[in-house]
Chain A
Amino acid sequence: MMDVKRRYVIPGDVIATGPLRPEQNVFQDGDRMISTCVGISEIFENSVKVIPLTGGYMPKANDLVIGKVIGTSPLSWEFDINSCFVGFLPAQDVFGRDYSPTKDELRQRLDIGDLVAVRIANFDRSRDPLLTVQDRDLGKIDSGELIEISPSKVPRLIGKRGSMIQTIEMATKAIITIGQNGWIVISCEDSEGLLKAVEAVKMIDALAHTPNLTERVKSMLGVVDGENNDTIND
């Protein structure tokens, strides 16, 4: 394991001083590296960053997110993607090139309140995020339950190479769709399994910063095996 120094920090905390590169959630004041959020600071050989424990989702191109239709205009759907920016899905992305607002009815395909797995096609600070459903695994979600977790804890939910999420899916027989925006849809034929999966996801959200999380999730789910050693986050 790499030698990384970790510490709990709040905004304004000086994480380190010296010639380091400030990365995410760190701001530089002279030679002081200062945290800009509540989270866990990590000092690497040349750089410093803070893993946030709270805060909203900042869209990133190529992220898979779960969106909720909140409105339509003649040419696009508007999506709540749990971010400060509203996402846009162009009508042509769903209807194809020959989309015509006089002939096609947007709401017949995707109505207000529908949950949709979408990918962020494009985003920069001058425009709101552009969405697409042109990929397998994308599109309207027909069943399941929406759970909201802190977007900063999504990596923890996925785990190393998907280990955490696989553990939950195998133990509960649930199908879990994870949006990078912290919106998670869980569906399961078996209501008992659904409850367990929901509980596991909520547990990870609440305890993401604590050690031995995989062990605790496994024991909650009643999974027995010896695999362990996971890091706080990555």
Chain B
Amino acid sequence: MNSQILDQLKREKILDLLKTGKRIDGRSLDEQRPLVIETGVIPKANGSARVKLGNTEIITGVKIQLDKPFPDLGDKGILICTAEILPLADPNAEPGPPNEEVIELARVVDRGIRETEMIDLHKLVLIEDKSVIGMFIDSSVIDSGGNLFDACSYASVAGILSCTVPKWEVKDDVPTLVEGVTSKPPIKTLPVSVTMARIGDYVIVDPTKDEESCMDARITITTNSEGNICAVQKGGSDGFTAEQLIQCAETALTVGRKIRKQFEQLM
């Protein structure tokens, strides 16, 4: 049986080590776990990625299909990111409709990609107000080992970068698929999400599952290639000081640069 409760000895060890600036897995406070990205893992999808961030593992598939625009956004294509914790990923995950944690996860991933304007949605329009290209980016957590926010975000970005977009030609006001012609998606910038946890007075980057069970509060900050801060989500049942938050934003930018280099290699 696997219960979610962290044993007291490990909790004490995590807290004791932090006082000396160390972490239980030997990382420094602002160090991420190794990120491994593999793309093209689901050939039937238009784009896909399998991402490992430490013990956390995600599979993302991108489906691209003809769609109708939202009524008030007729000059933009559709972009929808979802995330799901599969019941095989975690002994505490349950099958059935998503709970509030999973919905938050999906929305934070979506917000990071949407608000950085990673994809130029205007370029996905075929006929204004009538016909657009829709991109569905579905992420599945297959092994949960902490910091699902960043892992799902990285898998979604990698999935999008690996995408080939089919070509539709408008003939007599009807979009028709042109077989065998594809293009890269219209990428404007590379979003990088960085999640930090506060445990006591210490803020650590990319918490593991054990560290998450000791944390007081959490923050996810997404930055773009130009160094802007584009999306933020604070979580957990305690808070941060303003100074801590400003420091977090700086950390998100510096840590983000390293991850962005990994993304650039996929382009």
Report chain A residues within 8 Å CB of B3: 68, 70, 80
Among A28-36, A107-115, A196-204, A213-221, the stretch that binds chain B is A107-115
Task: Check if B6 is an interface residue, CB within 8 A of chain A.
Answer: yes
The answer to the question of B20 belonging to the interface, with a C-beta cut-off of 8 Å to chain A, is no
Chain A nearest Cβ from B160, distance in angstroms: 38
Q: Which of A169-203 contact B (CB under 8 A)?
A: 185
- Type the 1/0 row for A122-163, where 1 means its CB is closer than 8 Å to any CB of B: 000000000000000000010111100000000000000000
Asked whether, in the complex, the Cβ of B5 is within 8 Å of the Cβ of A68, the reply is: yes
Q: Closest B residue to A110 by CB, please name it.
A: B8
A84 and B1 form a contact (CB under 8 A): yes
Query: CA of A68 to CA of B228 in the docked complex: distance in angstroms?
Result: 46
* CA gap between A70 and B4 in the complex, in Å: 9
A82 beta carbon closer than 8 Å to chain B? yes
| Given A68-B3, A70-B3, A82-B1, residue A144 in contact with residue B8 (CB < 8 A) | no
The total of chain A residues at the interface (CB under 8 A) is: 20
User: A19 contacts the other chain (Cβ, under 8 Å)?
Assistant: no
| Interface flag for B7 (CB, 8 Å) | yes
Complex formed: what's the CA distance from A112 to B7 in Å?
A: 8
Contact across chains for B5 and A143 when beta carbons are under 8 A apart: no
Cβ of A56 within 8 Å of any chain B Cβ, yes or no, is: yes
Please determine whether A115 and B1 come into contact, CB atoms closer than 8 angstroms.
no
Chain B 234-263 interface residues, beta-carbon cutoff 8 Å to A: none
Pairwise interchain contact B5-A80, C-beta atoms closer than 8 A: yes
User: Does chain B have a CB within 8 A of A83?
Assistant: yes
> A84–B9 Cα gap in the complex (Å)?
23
Q: How far is the CB of B254 from chain A (nearest CB, A)?
A: 31
